Structure 1
Amino acid sequence: MISHFAEWVGEAHGLSFDLYADSFQSALSDSQGRRLPEERIWPLLDSFFRTEMDRQNIVPGAVEALAAIAEQADIVILTNIGDEHEAGRVEQLGRFEIRHRVLCNRGGKGRPVRELVEQMQPSAVVFVDDLSVHHESVANHAPDVWRLHMIAEPKLAQVVPPAPHAHARIDGWAEAADWIRARFSEGRAPADMEKEEQ
């Protein structure tokens, strides 16, 4: 999503988006290089999700990997967009034959992951996300969940370090699917487990 958003804010609004900024809030600037105030950022994101979903394309290998994982597990897509964009996200994913439960969320993902675990009572859980802040949130609220840091955007993957609260870092879906399915046989993650080297 992020590279498509960067293209769109440049084309439609004359803004610059720094893919390598340390936070979303610090990434956006105007034509004079001034950082955008936060109250202008959220309307831009809402507009992007309302009108530009078609810009986003599928990550290579994701469809096949998710299909393989779904043979063994229930998949829930926890996405940081407002409820008002849920139907658009479901339709967008459906175009790529990705049809799983979608939950919308604002902010950290730890609490909703913990609520899902409490609701579904699975034998093992794997959380996959590209943002380090969400791995920390899940580690704090649901420490027995396996956490895989994945950055599918190659430009970012080259420069973003592994999330310290993730158990592993894998940026390709084929290898990630194997890692995820291996965790199912191990049950819940030990809360004090050291991060694996990947």
Structure 2
Amino acid sequence: MAELHFFTGTMDSGKSTLALQTDHNHAARGRVGQIFTAHDRGGPAVVSSRLGLRRDALEVTGDFDFWAHVVGSLTQGARIDYLVCDEAQFYSAAQVEQLAKLVDELQIDVFAFGILTDFRTLLFPGSARLVELADRVNVLQVEALCWCGKRALHNARTESGVMVTDGEVVVVGDVDMADEPAAEVAYEVLCRQHHRRRLTAARAKAVSLAPEPLPFG
């Protein structure tokens, strides 16, 4: 029986890498699938991993209809055994419901990957609907770490190095790197305590709370 799977974790926890690996594993067994994404940091119509992996994909826009797309493809003779849906937090609730319908009515496996909450710590509508409908919800075992060493639970948005908690929900950016200048818009994973205090790695270093990188690796 086909299933709707939702894999979730913070930024930098390997979701896109796992999405590409999932597609590879199924394709290697002779299954035929399609890959989808939305607002990937690498640009439109691509799934990109921070490990350097990239794959062309179909871009999910606000008016994209998964049911119509798949039924249309099947009608034209295409074979589709599974869908890999990256950046699923940006899908609408209606689009998630279309994915569930594909699983139930056409027996097509769906593997969705996404972040649970936005930079304000509020659930993305797409992720919320996935939690409600998915047959399996999987929290990624690769844990992203806050600068303090605790498990990172939240994605903080920074603008020119300063953490912000309001603004547009969808703003594309990447995880800030400690040894690079602050980007105009970037993201940093933080534990709940330091997200509440708006205490990023740069700010902590400025007040001598984190003078040196943590000794991992």
Same fold (TM over 0.5): no
Which structure's residues are more often helix, by fraction?
1
Larger relative contact order (Cα-Cα within 8 Å, sequence gap ≥ 6): 2
TM-score relative to the length of structure 2: 0.35
TM-score relative to the length of structure 1: 0.38
- Greater Rg by CA: 2
Which structure's residues are more often strand, by fraction?
2
